[in-house]
Amino acid sequence: MLRTRVVTAIVLALGLLAILFLLPEPAVAAALALMLAAAAWEWAGLLGAAECQRRAYALLTPLPCALLYIAGMPAAVLFGLWLVALAFWLVVVPLWLAKKWKLRAAPSAYLVGWLLLLPTWAAMLALYARSPLHLLAAMALVWVADIAAYFAGHAWGRHKLAAQISPGKTWEGALGGAAGVVVYGLVVVAAAGLPLGASNLFWLLAALLLATAISVEGDLFESLAKRQAGAKDSSGLLPGHGGILDRIDSLTSALPLLALLLRLVPDHG
């Protein structure tokens, strides 16, 4: 099992690097849209949809991406999309997790799936257009949060964060993840040579902590959906890793926020 997990992780990493650094932008946009189409198929599965409905939803999901790309990724539309996503994660999801609302194969649930996936695709492509390194740095922030939380939770975890949704998560792990992200963020900013006065430092730390918290929400939201569906993984597409949604759950919440914030920062190359 461990060997399979490692091999899959290596293949995924090499595939991502090849897409970002070897393909032209239109192909990158298409590849990311296809990835989210697979995630849409998984989401419909968690809703209990029939296979024909899952396939139809997966086929429909890339269409808004294509329309947005053909339109030239207008800034106003991107900002609107990310702001709606941010409102969803900051206002709706905390209530959703507290109330444990159940998802059904209804139009509203499919719209929720698009609210998870479409802002994520737009954020990925916008960050990539700025620089592939910007996208990798944003994704790495979420990975650092996950890894730091895992080790901190195993070392010091005592108090459950959301026992009925994800029993393995603890407050100590979440704090460890936040600490790891802060260190990572400071290192990235220093390496990029960005100015960091007292005011900038305050806003940087606030952004890093918000990104960490919202990434945890993404993980918990998918965990709740899987628990309600009686599924361990979103699918078996990735041997040893479950499904696409299992790998991007935290990215779906964090990347739209990071893309929105980076649009407000001058491009230093």
pLDDT tens digits for 125-150? 999 999 999 999 999 999 999 999 99
pLDDT tens digits for 163-218? 889 988 999 999 999 999 999 999 998 887 777 777 788 889 999 999 999 999 99
The CA-atom distances, in angstroms, between 166 and each of 116, 132, 162, 229, 232 are 19, 33, 6, 14, 11
pLDDT band at 269 (very low <50, low <70, confident <90, very high): very low
pLDDT > 80? residue 71:
yes
pLDDT band at 1 (very low <50, low <70, confident <90, very high): low
pLDDT tens digits for 24-53? 999 999 999 999 999 999 999 999 999 999
The CA-atom distances, in angstroms, between 257 and each of 135, 137, 229, 249 are 13, 14, 28, 14
At 155 the pLDDT is 92
pLDDT tens digits for 88-113? 999 999 999 999 998 887 889 999 99
Q: Residue 244's closest CA among 31, 21, 18, 1? A: 31
Least confident of 17-21, 32-36, 263-267: 263-267
At 266 the pLDDT is 57
Beta partners for residue 160, in sequence order: 170
pLDDT band at 220 (very low <50, low <70, confident <90, very high): very high
- The answer to whether residues 174 and 149 touch, using CB atoms and an 8 Å cutoff, is yes
At 201 the pLDDT is 87
Chain-wide mean pLDDT for the chain?
92
